[in-house]
Amino acid sequence: MSTSPSAPQAATPAPQARNPLHGITLEAMVTALSAHYGWADLGERIPVRCFTHDPSIASSLKFLRKTPWAREKVEGLYLFMQREQRRQR
């Protein structure tokens, strides 16, 4: 089966100029949040076990990659932290 010139091409991803998280890895977010707030405060702000019991970057990433709702909370807190840091400058 050959492709005809009128066959639709695979859509290329649109540039994400308006996405503030574009290019920022989950690891970078967790690292920045833990450095800024500390694990104890991070566990209070987002009460998940990976932040409250024997926290580490590796365990947090493993959990957050499997749990969309928790990742959304981390992304939201990261954006909040970024806004607060910009206001303080």
The pLDDT score that the predictor gives to residue 14 is 65
- The predicted model gives 13-24 an average pLDDT of 80
In a domain, 20, yes or no: no
Number of domains making up the chain: 1
Please state, rounded to an integer, the average pLDDT across all residues of the chain. Answer: 88
Closest Cα partner for 59 from 43, 45, 75, 44? 43
Is residue 64, in this structure, part of any structural domain at all? yes
Q: CATH no. for residue 67?
A: 1.10.720.30
Residue 82 within a domain: yes
Token pair recorded at residue 53: 């019991």
pLDDT in tens, 35-45: 999 999 999 99
pLDDT of residue 42: 96
Whether residue 10 is contained in a domain is answered as no
Terminal Cα-to-Cα distance of the chain (whole angstroms): 60
Higher pLDDT among residues 7 and 16, named by residue: 16
41 part of a folded domain: yes
Pull the structure tokens for residue 22.
């574009």
Provide the residue range defining the domain that includes 76: 26-88
Is pLDDT at 55 greater than 90 in this prediction? yes
Residue 62 belongs to a domain = yes
pLDDT over 70 at 85, yes or no: yes
Query: Residue 88 corresponds to which amino acid?
Result: Q
